[in-house]
Chain A
Amino acid sequence: MAHPIQNTESACHGPMPLSEKLGIGFWLSVGWIALVFACAIFADLLPLAEYDAMDWKNQASPPGFRAIRSDSHGQSAITTVYVFGTDTMGRDILARLIYGARISLAVGLIAPMIGLVIGGIIGMLAGFYRGRAETIVMAIMDVILAFPGLVLLLAVYFYLGPGLDKMIFALGFLTIPAFTRVARANTLNFSQRDFVTAARALGQSDIHILAREILPNIVMPMIVYALLIVSYMIVAEGSLSFLALGVPPPTPSWGGMIAGGKEMLDEAAHVSLIPALVMFLTVLSFNLIGDAVRALVDAREGQL
């Protein structure tokens, strides 16, 4: 599950009828992700309740609940509408979902970037210079790959303690081997091409060849791969938060919200199931987008 490394996609290259063209599913996914992004970015501007304000009189109230309370003078009544209800501590679920999206998106987007840059550079150098260094580097990457991801994350939490930055680094680290492999394989392929030989014959330096001839060619497959990793990262973050080993409270995160409603699942299922649905839709959307873009790029490469 929360295993960002083993890319099952590559193992099952069977043609997915779903991904043949950018169908309606793709555009719905883009729409959903755009909405989540917009909410996360403009969260402070939206007319939302405080995500950590607890309304002790209205715990686990259902979606659409109108809470009426008198203002500080006991005069006029103030109505608050909880669109998605409140959680077991009486906090507004909508507000927590939107602020939680910040955590999921930050982890989902930044962690693959770490792997992309570091793994990309290592993989390019390994594929370009070959030799004993390449053998050793790839053996180390195999060792990292050979480890169950979530257990490594738990180990990292155990030793580093909680924190968003640490989690992003740990997840990013976990993606390095996979990116190294993708970068190396593509570099190996392009290093044999005529235009690299030509650049060498013209007396171009290695750095010039790597940056100007090889890099532009391997960027696209790397980005496609990064896109496929995003949903793994979001699930991994959710898993840690679900186990209460993610970002420390009261900062909301989707995994933590789902876990928070577990005790009241029978009486107030929405406390868990609304965040669960949001998380599922987001992961599904990222998967659909990644899959569609990969199919598109594969088809284009095939035509060349």
Chain B
Amino acid sequence: MFRHLIKKFLRLLSVLVAVTALTFLMMDVLPGDVAYEIAGADATVEGVKALREALGLDRHIFIRYGDWLAGVVQGDFGRSLLTHEPVANAIFACLPVTLELMMISQILALVLAIPIGIISAYRSRSGLDRAFSATAFAFMSAPVFVMAMVLIYIFALKLRWLPATGFAPLSEGLLANIRSLMLPAASLALLEWAPLMRVLRSDMIATLQETFILSAKAKGLSARKILFDHALKPSSFTLITILGIHIGHLVGGAVIVESIFALPGIGRLLVGAIYSRDLNMVQGCILLITLGYVVVNFLVDALYSFLDPRVRAQAD
């Protein structure tokens, strides 16, 4: 069990080092850098050179990477090359918005996926099951920005139930805060629920064949009690794993959704930094996103082996 987790942890570290080293390397190989961006269009060659020296861009790539990495270990991500604000401050200001968005969207996705998955498994191969499957298939084919535009059109512009863009921080009240995140979270959730529902449905169908379900039926328990109390937990292992994997989808989706809805989250920060070629900011965002992603996967993996004795036995 522990060896398994240590192996996973080492892999986690190697992913982080590989990703950051790669971004640094690409930066070095390719032409054009932020010094020109800062200096502006009418800069002299000497001016740009001086600026490069001041920013430390003229040093060898290994030294710069080592410097940056040493800083990161101490919690120092450097400063934005454009605004000179510490990268860590900018990121931590944006982080809560992204986390809240992802949390609400995961909850919405599960609220859709669990009941529909259970009903589909219980009434497997019925007309209802087919209708749900077809719906899920259609939702899996709608790109997140298409979904977001349709939701804005219906709920913000036509029905005027929810705000179209903008973010209300918690200081403006919980309701306003959640209302401002409702459409962005729904855009992500409507995309994520379908695969979740499908894995739950197929696992549930397998569980419902088991003898302990038969004995529960023989005891005369109601269908609702059997499904929720007896069948749901042993059917949700794959669901949990998929939830972890989907963090990656959600991160990608969050980048787009935050841009559409003008939410001050990490995704919007990253896209803005890309537009202005702010290397330190891009590096910081990418590192943080990768970190979050691999840590969540690591935790899901640990949780999975904790929940399912078969995996635990295999790993030892």
* Interface flag for A6 (CB, 8 Å): yes
Q: In this assembly, does A245 line the interface, its C-beta being within 8 Å of a C-beta of chain B?
A: yes
User: Is A146 in contact with B15, judged by CB distance below 8 angstroms?
Assistant: yes
A147–B144 Cα distance when bound, in Å, is 19
The residues of B that contact A56 with a CB separation of less than 8 Å are none
B271 at the interface (CB under 8 A from A): yes
Determine if B256 and A242 form an interchain contact, defined as CB atoms under 8 angstroms apart: yes
B180 within 8 A of partner (CB): no
Measured between beta carbons, the chain B residues less than 8 angstroms from A291 are 137
Contact A8 B242 (CB under 8 A): yes
Proximity string of chain B (121-153) to chain A, C-beta cutoff 8 Å, 1 when within and 0 when not: 000010001100110011011111110011011
Report whether A12 and B248 are in contact in the complex, using a CB–CB cutoff of 8 Å: no
Contact indicator B255/A150 (Cβ below 8 Å): yes
| B157 close to chain A: CB less than 8 A | yes
* Chain A hits for B277, CB < 8 A: 158
The binding surface of chain B is classed by DSSP as: helix
Interface residues on A, range: 35 or more
A11-B238 in contact given A149-B252, A265-B152 (Cβ < 8 Å)? yes
Cα distance A239–B255 in the bound complex, in angstroms: 10
CA distance A205 to B23 in the complex (A): 41
Of B129, B260, B293, the residue contacting A147 (CB under 8 A) is B293
Q: B202 at the A/B interface (Cβ < 8 Å)?
A: yes
CB contacts (< 8 Å) of B191 on chain A: these are 1
Interface centre among A139, A157, A272 (most CB of B within 10 A): A272
A276 interface residue per 8 A CB criterion: yes
Given the interface contacts A159-B23, A269-B153, does A1 sit within 8 Å of B143 by beta carbon?
Answer: yes
Given A154-B271, A235-B143, are A1 and B252 neighbors across the interface (CB < 8 Å)? Answer: yes
Q: Tell me which residues across on chain A come within 8 A of B242, comparing CB atoms.
A: 8, 11-12
Q: Mark A47-58, 1 if CB is under 8 A from B, else 0.
A: 000000000000
Minimum CB distance partner of A288 in chain B? B137
User: Which parts of A116-146 form the interface with B (CB within 8 Å)?
Assistant: 139, 142-143, 146
Check B199 against A12 for contact (C-beta < 8 Å): yes
The reply to whether the CB of A266 lies closer than 8 angstroms to some CB of chain B is: yes
B202 touches A12 (CB 8 A): yes
Residues of A within 8 A of B238 (CB): 11-12
Q: Are A150 and B251 in contact (CB under 8 A)?
A: yes
B251: chain A residues within 8 A (beta carbon):
148, 150-151
Given A146-B297, A262-B260, does the pair A158, B274 have CB atoms closer than 8 Å? yes
Partner of A143, one of B14, B133, B202, B271: B14
B14 contacts A283, C-beta separation under 8 Å? no
B249 to chain A, nearest CB (A): 5
Q: Are B290 and A148 in contact (CB under 8 A)?
A: yes
Q: Say which size band chain B's interface belongs to.
A: 35 or more
B30: interface (CB < 8 Å)? yes
* Inter-subunit contact B138/A284 (CB<8 Å): yes
Q: What's the minimum C-beta distance from A24 to chain B, rounded to whole angstroms?
A: 12
In the bound complex, what is the Cα–Cα distance between A102 and B202 (angstroms)?
A: 38
Tell me whether B223 is interfacial, beta carbon within 8 Å: no
Quick one: which of B26, B149, B248, B282 contacts A273, CB cutoff 8 A? B149
Which residues of chain A from 1 to 47 have a CB within 8 Å of any chain B CB? Answer: 1-3, 6, 8, 11-18
Do B252 and A150 touch across chains, with their CB atoms under 8 A apart? Answer: yes
Could you tell me the distance in whole angstroms from the C-beta of B237 to the nearest C-beta in chain A? 11
- Asked if A279 is at the interface of the complex by the 8 Å CB criterion, the answer is yes
A198 to chain B, nearest CB (A): 34
Is A155 a contact of B23 with CB atoms below 8 Å? Answer: yes
Nearest CB of B to A101, in Å: 15
Query: What A residues does B274 contact at CB under 8 A?
Result: 154, 157-158, 245
The residue on A at minimum CB distance from B251 is A148
- Among residues of A, the one whose C-beta sits closest to the C-beta of B19 is A147
The interface residues of chain A lying within 8 Å CB-to-CB of B248 are 3, 6, 147-149
Instruction: Find out whether the CB atom of B199 lies under 8 angstroms from the CB atom of A11.
Output: yes
User: Which of the residues B153, B198, B293 comes within 8 Å of A14, measured between beta carbons?
Assistant: B198
Task: Give 1 or 0 for each of B242-260: 1 = CB within 8 Å of chain A CB.
Answer: 1001001101110110011
List which B280-299 residues lie within 8 A (CB) of chain A: 282, 286, 289-290, 293-294, 297
Say whether A243 contacts B256, CB under 8 Å.
yes
Q: Are A239 and B205 in contact (CB under 8 A)?
A: no
Q: Is A187 an interface residue (CB 8 A)?
A: no
Q: A245-B274, A280-B143 are in contact. List 7 more A-B contacts (CB 8 A).
A: A2-B252, A6-B249, A14-B202, A17-B133, A148-B289, A157-B274, A272-B153
Please list the 4 inter-chain residue pairs (A to B) with the smallest Cβ-Cβ separation, ordered nearest first: A14-B202, A150-B252, A284-B141, A159-B26
Query: Can you show 5 pairs from A to B with CB atoms below 8 A apart?
Result: A1-B253, A11-B242, A160-B30, A272-B153, A279-B146
